[in-house]
Amino acid sequence: MSVAENIVASGRPDVPVTTTSLATVPRVPVYVACTLAALIANYLLGKDMAWDTLNYHLYAGFSALNDRFAQDYFAAGPPSYFNPYAFVPFYVLVKAGLSPLVISSLLAIVHSIIFWIVYELAICVCPSYDRRLRMTFGVCAIAMTFLNPILVQQIGSSFADITTAELMLGGWLLLAQAVRAPHSARVVCAGLLIGFATALKPTNAVHAVAACTLLIFLPKAIFGRIRYVLSYAAALALGFTIVVAPWSYRLEQMFGNPLFPLMNGWFRSPEFTTEPLRHFRFIPASIAEALWRPFAIVNPVQMVQEELTAPDLRYAVLAVLASMLLAGWLARRLAHSSASTAPSEPAAATRVLAALGCGFATDWVLWLSASGNGRYFLPMASVAAILIVALIFRLFAARPKLRNYVLLVILSAQIVQIYYGADHRWNADAAPWDRNWLSIEMPEKLSTEPNLYLTTGVQSNSFIAAYLAKGSGLVNFSGAYVLGSNGAAGARIEALMHRYAPRLRVLWRATQSEAANLPRDYRFPVNDSLARFSLRIDPSDCSKIIVHGLPPDMEINFSGLLSSGPVKPSSKTQPNTSYLITCRIIPDDSNRRTEADRERAVNVAFDRVEDACPALFQPRRLHSEHVRDVWHRVYVNTDIVLVSIHGKIKFMNPPHSESLISLGPESEWAKAPLRLACGRRNGAYFADVLKSEE
C-alpha cells in the first residue's frame, strides 16, 4: 500500500488515529442537528398510513401484550406469527391516545439514532488526525445517509426497519472498532446486538452473516481470528435466543414450529404450507440484471427496490468510485511491478475501510439473492453512504476543492431525485395530523359483545382487533393466504367457531356501493368464501364500522372480469372515510355438491398448471377460492394470481400489470397437462402454451 493511499487532504499521516483520539470529535451538536432534521422531515411528510401498518404492525404490538393464541387464528395472515416485539412501542403510543404528531415525533427521535451511529462509523473510517476534517467527514456521511428515499419514507412511521437497522449498524460499528483495535468485548457485544436485530426482524440475517467478513481483517494471527469468529457466533446465537425464546415457545406449543410460519419445510407444521417461502418481487432474474441493479435503482419508477418509487443514485456512484479506485490501484501495481520492496502495513483506518467494503460487497450479493428489497437493506445503505464519502476523500485527497465539488454534485443530484422522483409516504396523499392515529366509530354492541370475526381480503384489517370488545377473536380465512375448511387449519377454525357459536360474524372492507346498500338483502360477495364452511350471511344483522384516516385499499376484485386497483372513496363522502361491514353469519344448509364438483375440476387444472411451470406458481398446492364467477389461487412467492374465468385459465401479476395472460381453455387442462414456456424478464412473468409434439 503506497503512502499516497494513506493520506487524506489536510490529514496528518504521521500521527496514528486511535480509538481514544476519536473521543475528541464533537458529538452533541451533530446529534442534536440529526434529531432536529428527522423531526422536521417527519412533520413535513405527514402521517404515514402504510399497508403494513394496518395489515399487521398495529396487530403485532397488540398481540405481543395480549395473549391472542387462544382466540385468533392468522388474524393478520402469516405475518400474525412473526416476532412482534419490535412493534410494541408503536402500539403502546397509539393505545395511550397520543396525537399522531406526538407519536410520529417520538418515533422520529428514535429513528434519528441511526445518523448518530453513521457518524461514529464514519469517523472510525477517516484516517485523518485533523479534528475538523473528521467532523466534516462524518457530517458528509450523515448527509449521504439521509438522502436515502426509503429511509426518508420510514422516518416517524410504524416500520421496524430503521430501529432494527440501528441495532445492526451498532454491531457493525463495534466490529469496525475491533478491526481498528482488537478487543473481545467489542466482538461479543457486536454479536449480541446483531443477534437482537436478527431476532426482531429475520431479514437482517444476511447482514449478520456478512458481518463475519469484517473479522477477517482483524490484525491477528489465523488462530486469533478464529477465536474471535467463534466468540461472535456464540454471542450472535445468544442474542438471537434471548429475544425469540418467549415467542418461539408459544409458537412451538401451538404449531410445533418455533419459527412458524418460517422454515416450515423443516418443522412441517400441518397448519401451513411446507413449500419454500421466498418473495421474488425484487430479486434479479439473471446475473445481468443483478449487475445492472445499482444503475436500475437510479430510475424513478416503481417496483425496482421496493413497491414505491425510490430512485437512488448512491449505489451507482459507489460502483463507479470503486471501479476508479481499483483501476488506480492496478495502474500503480503495474507501474511498480519490478519493485522488490515489501508492502507496508496498512493504516488502521484503511484496514477498517477495506473491511467495510468487503463486508458491504458480501452483503450486497446475499441481499440480492435473498430479497432485493430496499427496506431490508437500510443498515448497508448507511454503510454505502460512508463508503462513498471515504472513496471520494481518498480519490481526491490531493485536490480538496475538486473533492468538495464532487460531493456537492452527488448530494444535489440525489436531493433532486428524492424531491421530484420519490414517493415520500406510502399513502399517496399526505395524511393530515389528526387528533387520533385512527378515528373509529364503533357500534355499541360490537364494543361490548365478544364475537368471532371471520375476515376477508388481502388487507386483513387486523388493526380492528384493538378496538373490538374484549374477548373477541379474529380469523383472516380469505385473503393473501387462504385457509381451507379441511385439514389441521380447518379443524382449528371449526373449534373456534364451536367455542364462539352463535356469536359468529364476518367482516370485510366494503366499497361505497356496498356500504350504501347495506340494509338490502342482496348477494354479498363474501358469501362465496363463507360457503366452504357451510355458512352464509344473515342480512338482517349487519353493522358498519366507520374508520377515518385509512388510505385507499389495494385489493384484487372479482366481478365477471378480473380487475385490481384501489377502492376509491366516493366524491360524495368524506375523504379518507372507509367502511368495515360486519354481518352475523349462520349455518347454510344448501346443497354444495355442484360447487364441490366444480372446485375439484378447477383444482385439477390449477395443479397441472403449477406442475407445468413451478418457477411461476409457487408455493404449490394452495387452496383455491371462489368469488362470484371466478376461481383463483394467490401465489405469495411470485405475487401471481391464477384464475379460471369463463372457461379459460389465465393469470396476472398485479404488482407489475393488471392484464390477464391466457394459458388456454380449462377443458384442455382437464384432459391432460399442457406444455408451457415460462419465466421472468424485466421483472414481469410470462408463460406461453407450446404446441403438443406429434
pTM above 0.85, yes or no: yes
Could you give the percent of the chain with pLDDT greater than 90? 66
Give me 378's grid cell. Answer: 437500510
Question: For 125-176, how does the pLDDT look when each residue is reduced to its tens digit (9 = 90+)?
Answer: 987 778 888 999 999 999 999 999 999 999 999 999 999 999 999 999 999 9
Cα of 194 vs its chain's centroid, Å:
18
Which band of pLDDT confidence, cut at 50, 70 and 90, is reported for residue 207?
Answer: very high
Q: What is the mean pLDDT of the chain?
A: 87
For 537, phi then psi, to 5°, come to -75, 140
Is-contact 96 363, C-beta < 8 A? no
As a dihedral over the C-alpha atoms of residue 440, residue 446, residue 447, residue 449, rounded to 10 degrees, the angle is -170
Q: Is 402 left (phi over 0), alpha (psi -120 to 50) or beta?
A: alpha
Give me 554's grid cell. Answer: 389495494
Give me 57's grid cell. Answer: 404492525
User: Would the pLDDT of 469 be above 50?
Assistant: yes
Provide mean pLDDT across the span 32-37: 97
Question: For 675-691, how does the pLDDT look when each residue is reduced to its tens digit (9 = 90+)?
Answer: 999 988 777 888 999 88
Question: For 60-114, how does the pLDDT look when each residue is reduced to its tens digit (9 = 90+)?
Answer: 999 999 999 999 999 999 999 999 999 999 999 999 989 999 999 999 999 999 9
User: Would the pLDDT of 12 be above 80?
Assistant: no
Q: How far apart are CA 124 and CA 18, in angstroms?
A: 9
Provide mean pLDDT across the span 343-371: 87
Q: How far apart are the first and last CA of the chain?
A: 67
Which band of pLDDT confidence, cut at 50, 70 and 90, is reported for residue 568?
Answer: very low
In this prediction, residue 479 carries a pLDDT of 81
CA distances from 220 to 18, 217, 228, 578 (A): 17, 8, 9, 62
Burial 284-305 (b: 16+ CB within 10 A, else e): bbeeebbeebbebbbebeeebb
Question: For 477-508, how does the pLDDT look when each residue is reduced to its tens digit (9 = 90+)?
Answer: 988 899 988 899 999 999 999 999 999 999 98
CA angle 207, 274, 373 (to 5 degrees): 30
Axis-axis angle for helices 400-416, 378-395 (nearest 10): 150
Could you give the percent of the chain with pLDDT greater than 70? 88
Residues 6+ apart with CB under 8 A from 442: 467, 468, 545
Burial 59-96 (b: 16+ CB within 10 A, else e): bbbbbbeeebeebbbbbbbbbbbbbbbbbbbbbebbee
Question: For 183-192, how does the pLDDT look when each residue is reduced to its tens digit (9 = 90+)?
Answer: 999 999 999 9
User: Would the pLDDT of 565 be above 60?
Assistant: no
Look at 206-210, 462-466, 541-545, 628-632 and tell me which has the smallest mean pLDDT.
628-632
Which band of pLDDT confidence, cut at 50, 70 and 90, is reported for residue 7?
Answer: very low
In this prediction, residue 2 carries a pLDDT of 37
In this prediction, residue 694 carries a pLDDT of 45
Residues 6+ apart with CB under 8 A from 72: 63, 80, 465, 473, 474, 475
Nearest to 239 by CA among 205, 185, 198, 183: 198
User: Would the pLDDT of 13 be above 60?
Assistant: no
Axis-axis angle for helices 161-180, 348-370 (nearest 10): 140
